[in-house]
Amino acid sequence: MNAENVLDVAMSAYWQNDPADVSVNAICQMAGISKPSLYRAFGSEDGLSRAVLDRYAEQVLSDIFVILQGGTGLHQTLDALIDFASDDPRMETGCLFYKMRAGKHRLGPDTLSRVEEIDAAARAAYAAFLQAARDAGEWPDGLSVEAGARYLGEQIALAITQRASGEDPARIREMLTLALSVFTRR
Amino acid sequence: MNAENVLDVAMSAYWQNDPADVSVNAICQMAGISKPSLYRAFGSEDGLSRAVLDRYAEQVLSDIFVILQGGTGLHQTLDALIDFASDDPRMETGCLFYKMRAGKHRLGPDTLSRVEEIDAAARAAYAAFLQAARDAGEWPDGLSVEAGARYLGEQIALAITQRASGEDPARIREMLTLALSVFTRR
DNA sequence: TCATTTTTATACCAATCGGTATTTTAAGTC
DNA sequence: GACTTAAAATACCGATTGGTATAAAAATGA
């Protein structure tokens, strides 16, 4: 019955549509397995969506952490983030993590706690990146690293969420570039 | 059976929670009316949510248009928008319009077209406001009014959406102020 | 007061949800 | 081949969804 294949099918379904709109029944049908098989493998819908999120984190989100930890300087890293959010084909239908976070009140407890865990890790990574830029002297006056990290994370989330709603990538890039210009102008 | 009371109850329910999480059954129960009565008055769930959105537009959204058309200059109007998004108590649980727009794929055709209508009107109002600021010479180089209007609208939407998720208003204000600083710095 | 019409309330509909009990099938093992 | 064990498929569960048919009640007109 191949659990990895089920995870791939579920991840793609959750990702392409909204997680809340994809039923367990539909996943079983798409994966060609029976419902008892799925429940034996993952325990519950919560177990499945959590497993999917784990897979997504290591297959996709890890790339964002790589960009942040690249140590290539403020300007260059911001450009890489803009490229990723605006034009990476994998973000064409949005980000599964952001979709889950946006509908967190519908998640089961396990998936929810994983979402919050990833959220905290992302904020920490953004903060570490900005702290390094501050240490290098590339930093506008009167802005805390904490606030900057929150701002940066939410602007990236906004841009990718807009891609999910079919917005023109060029427009998204324009808006995100404008939003992140607060880091490089003084 | 009082249709206005039903609209008030439904608006408050849609607004406080997510529209997709509020069933027709629940609204009937809260309003103390029978389901056939509601369907005779509004035709369908789509008819009800559209009527609710109409009411919301004239009771709440109109205030934003008033701010935008106040003609009090760029800086002052932006501050008023920041105040509204960050601290107006009516936005404490978010904006019903933004909640509907975020879940537009779940809306019926009538409600959906009304959402898009309001969206277009809002963009036009933002653009008119920014055009006036440009005519007054208060405008950064290399930014089109169109792009600025989209950016401004989305930043406001982001801020209010964050209020719905319980974010600290002071943090939201800080982020929104930072985002809108691109209009006043050169 | 009686009859008509309109509104209300109760009960129901088919579809779908997440989750399971039961039965059938298949795979080993001796 | 006979027996055991594990997996799979089907059928079912109660709850809830948007929507309606029908029966009871209330208001209206003569």
Give yes or no for residue B14 having a pLDDT over 80. Answer: yes
Q: What is the mean pLDDT of chain A?
A: 95
- Ordered by start, the domain boundaries in chain A are 56-183
Task: Report CB contact under 8 Å: B102, A102.
Answer: yes
d(CA B185, C1' C12) / Å: 65
For B140-179, how does the pLDDT look when each residue is reduced to its tens digit (9 = 90+)? 888 999 999 999 999 999 999 999 999 999 999 999 999 9
How near does any CA of chain A get to the CA of B154, in Å?
8
Residue B9, both tokens = 């109850």
Q: What is the pLDDT of residue B186?
A: 58
Q: What is the pLDDT of residue B141?
A: 82
Q: Which nucleotide is nearest to B40 (CA to C1')?
A: C7
Give yes or no for residue B115 having a pLDDT over 70. Answer: yes
**How many H helices and E strands in chain A?**
10, 0
The conformation of residue B19, written as its DSSP 8-state character, comes to: G
Contacts of B163 in chain A (CB under 8 A): none
In 3D space, the residue among B119, B30, B91, B102 whose CA is nearest the CA of residue A94 turns out to be: B102
Give yes or no for residue A186 having a pLDDT over 70. Answer: no
In B 2-41, which Cβ lie closer than 7 Å to strand C? 33-37, 40
**How many H helices and E strands in chain B?**
10, 0
Helix (H, G, I), strand (E, B) or coil at B136: coil
d(CA B36, C1' C4) / Å: 22
Q: Return contacts of A140-147, CB within 8 angstroms, 24+ apart.
A: A140/A182, A140/A183, A140/A185, A140/A186, A141/A186, A143/A182, A143/B178, A147/B171, A147/B174, A147/B175, A147/B178
Yes or no: say if A124 and A146 are a contact pair by the CB < 8 Å rule: no
CA distance A158 to A177: 12
Task: Give the fold, CATH level 3, of B3-184.
Answer: Tetracycline Repressor; domain 2 (1.10.357)
Task: Pick from A99, A154, A162, A182 the residue to mutate for testing the B interface (most B CBs within 10 Å).
Answer: A154
Give yes or no for residue B1 having a pLDDT over 80. Answer: no
> What contacts B57, CB < 8 A, 6 or more positions away?
B97, B118
| Element of type H or E holding A50 | helix A45-56
Give yes or no for residue B185 having a pLDDT over 80. Answer: no
d(CA A46, C1' D18) / Å: 26
Closest residue in A to B176 (Cα–Cα): A151
Find where tokens 């004239």 sit.
Answer: B58
Model confidence at A124, in pLDDT bands (50, 70, 90)?
A: very high
For B24-53, how does the pLDDT look when each residue is reduced to its tens digit (9 = 90+)? 999 999 999 999 999 999 999 999 999 999
How many CB atoms within 10 Å of residue B5? 12
Give yes or no for residue A23 having a pLDDT over 80. Answer: yes
Class of domain A56-183: mainly alpha
Dihedral Cα B77, B166, A45, A97, nearest 10 deg: 50
Q: What is the pLDDT of residue A185?
A: 75
